[in-house]
């Protein structure tokens, strides 16, 4: 028979066992740490090298030109004092900001009435205080997709929002990934039940900024070949395993179908459509869909590792690409400014080598860069005649031109 005495004995035994486990774990951790230290081993997340490179620094805390951020989220805008945010915008030289989360903290509440109330408050806050500094987008609750009045009520919400001052519609990434209808079936990006919404935006002349899917590595196996492996380790919920989610290709094709089926509606494909790592594919995408634009939010790293290719892309598609940051954090904008406003020394040197002279003015530098980007054949005499100075001989110019063509991406 189980007695109180037996219970105490069992409790003491379990407590003793717990103490032993803790002591053993502590000793094991200590030993492993010593072995790692002795053999210079460490976890990859501990590796934080300090660069010894000494070069001139070119900090860019403020944009050279006023700019518009088309992709930002400010969840407290219905009630926030916007003066502090505007001061930060001024310090960045940000002229105008789009808050995609017009419904604020109610955006994912599942309560469209509350979402609409918050939208009205956001619009009122902006109108009364800084009407020329912010644009607000509408948010819709797509969970009601099976309701008989879903299409009609969604269109009415859009129309009312525009009347109050909203200038666009934001669609979040749950569409196409984990949004399901009442039958438990995944709602695809090109679901026909959503067509009245896209058509209404076209009729209202407002754009739809849509975030579909995730970067392609987020759909791949998490192994040593995945370049986002560390991200998966730190934020495992970001990844989309194939047993629970559609493939990257499936989601992107659905989005493509939706864009194509609604040519009279302007779409902004957020995050460069997750094609910043394949600009050739993005070019085909934009060429085939004249109603689609894109923005660079959260993909600056992809652009930074292919500076020449990215720059040429921006030149060729300058009327289709917008600035976007996504998560607002003032201290992170300088990275974008440095990537977008500066050319690495290696590229500058290649430009000088290719054109065959050292520019003495900003205008000459601009023309040198234009000549380099357009891959024009260099004509020694024409440059000498135009600028009356040249830094290399004709023989050197010829050899450097060959070097340049070998460097081309």
DSSP 8-state secondary structure symbol assigned to residue 127: H
Range with the poorest average pLDDT among 2-16, 62-76, 184-198? 2-16
Residue 178 CA, chain-centre distance (Å), reads: 20
Cβ-in-10-Å burial (0-12, 13-18, 19+) of 360 comes to exposed
Helix residue ranges per DSSP H, 305-361? 307-316, 333-341, 345-355
Domain ranges of the chain: 15-46, 67-341, 345-407
Give the pair of three-digit tokens for residue 298: 């959260």
Decide yes or no: CATH 3.20.20.140 for domain 67-341: yes
DSSP 8-state secondary structure symbol assigned to residue 343: -
- Strands 168-171 and 208-210, sheet pairing: parallel
Confidence of residue 11 (pLDDT cuts 50, 70, 90): confident
Q: What is the mean pLDDT of residues 364-372?
A: 70
Higher pLDDT, 199 or 16: 199
CA-CA distance, 13 to 4, in Å (whole number)?
14
Strand partners, 210: 171, 269
**154-166 burial string, b = 16+ CB within 10 Å, else e?**
bbebbeebbebbb
Percent of the chain with pLDDT over 90: 63
Contacts of 129 (CB under 8 A, 6+ apart): 82, 83
In the predicted structure, residue 399 carries a pLDDT above the cut 60: no
In the predicted structure, residue 55 carries a pLDDT above the cut 50: yes
User: Is the backbone of residue 192 left (phi > 0), alpha (psi -120 to 50) or beta?
Assistant: alpha
CA-CA distance, 343 to 210, in Å (whole number)?
31
- What pLDDT is attached to residue 151? 97
Per residue in 255-309, pLDDT (tens digit) is 999 999 999 999 999 999 999 999 999 999 999 999 999 999 999 999 988 988 8
In the predicted structure, residue 85 carries a pLDDT above the cut 60: yes
CA-CA distance, 196 to 55, in Å (whole number)?
56
Identify the CA nearest to 220 among candidates 229, 211, 208: 229
Strands (E), 32-106: 67-72, 94-99
Edge-to-edge, what's the strand order for the sheet holding 208-210?
Answer: 67-72, 94-99, 134-139, 168-171, 208-210, 267-269, 292-295, 321-322
In the predicted structure, residue 36 carries a pLDDT above the cut 70: no
Q: What is the mean pLDDT of residues 95-121?
A: 95
Per residue in 386-396, pLDDT (tens digit) is 544 444 433 33
Range with the poorest average pLDDT among 3-17, 52-66, 167-181, 348-362? 348-362
Q: Which of 34-38, 253-257, 349-353 has the highest mean pLDDT?
A: 253-257
Q: What is the mean pLDDT of the chain?
A: 86
Q: What is the mean pLDDT of residues 15-39?
A: 77
Q: What is the mean pLDDT of residues 67-94?
A: 97
Strand partners, 97: 69, 134
CA-CA distance, 401 to 356, in Å (whole number)?
9
In the predicted structure, residue 160 carries a pLDDT above the cut 60: yes
Confidence of residue 56 (pLDDT cuts 50, 70, 90): confident
Per residue in 314-341, pLDDT (tens digit) is 989 999 999 999 999 999 999 999 888 8
CA-CA distance, 107 to 117, in Å (whole number)?
11
Per residue in 224-249, pLDDT (tens digit) is 999 999 988 889 999 999 999 999 99
Confidence of residue 153 (pLDDT cuts 50, 70, 90): very high
């Amino acid at each position: 028979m189980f007695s109180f005495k037996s219970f105490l004995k069992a409790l003491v035994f379990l407590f003793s066992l717990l103490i032993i486990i803790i002591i053993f774990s502590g000793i094991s951790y200590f030993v492993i740490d010593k072995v790692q230290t002795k053999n210079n081993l460490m976890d990859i997340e501990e590796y934080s090298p300090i660069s010894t490179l000494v070069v001139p620094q070119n900090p860019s805390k403020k944009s050279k030109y006023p700019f518009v951020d088309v992709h930002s989220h400010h969840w407290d805008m219905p009630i926030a004092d916007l003066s502090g945010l505007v001061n930060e915008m001024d310090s960045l030289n940000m002229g105008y900001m789009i808050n995609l989360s017009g419904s604020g903290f109610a955006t994912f509440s599942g309560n469209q009435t509350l979402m609409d109330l918050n939208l009205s408050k956001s619009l009122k806050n902006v109108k009364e205080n800084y009407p020329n500094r912010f644009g607000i987008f509408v948010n819709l609750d797509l969970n009601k997709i099976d309701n008989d009045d879903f299409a009609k009520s969604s269109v009415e919400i859009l129309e009312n929002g525009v009347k109050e001052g909203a200038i666009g519609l934001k669609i979040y990434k749950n569409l196409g990934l984990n949004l399901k209808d009442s039958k438990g079936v995944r709602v695809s990006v090109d679901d026909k039940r959503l067509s009245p919404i896209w058509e209404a935006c076209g009729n209202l002349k407002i754009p739809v900024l849509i975030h579909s899917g995730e970067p392609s590595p987020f759909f791949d196996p998490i192994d040593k070949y995945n370049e986002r492996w560390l991200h998966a380790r730190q934020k495992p919920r970001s990844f989309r395993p194939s047993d629970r989610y559609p493939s990257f290709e499936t989601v992107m094709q659905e989005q493509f179908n939706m864009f194509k089926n609604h040519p009279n509606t302007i779409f902004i494909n957020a995050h460069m459509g997750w094609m910043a790592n394949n600009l050739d594919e993005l070019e085909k995408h934009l060429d085939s869909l004249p109603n689609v634009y894109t923005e660079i939010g959260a993909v600056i790293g992809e652009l930074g590792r292919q500076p020449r290719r990215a720059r040429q892309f921006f030149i060729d598609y300058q009327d289709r690409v917008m600035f976007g940051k996504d998560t607002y954090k003032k201290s992170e904008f300088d990275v974008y400014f440095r990537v977008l406003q500066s050319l690495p020394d290696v590229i500058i040197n290649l430009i000088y080598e290719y054109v065959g002279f050292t520019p003495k003015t900003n205008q000459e530098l601009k023309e040198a860069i234009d000549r380099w980007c357009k891959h024009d054949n260099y004509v020694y005499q024409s440059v000498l005649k135009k600028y009356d100075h040249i830094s290399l001989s004709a023989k050197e110019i010829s050899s450097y031109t060959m070097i340049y063509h070998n460097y081309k991406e």
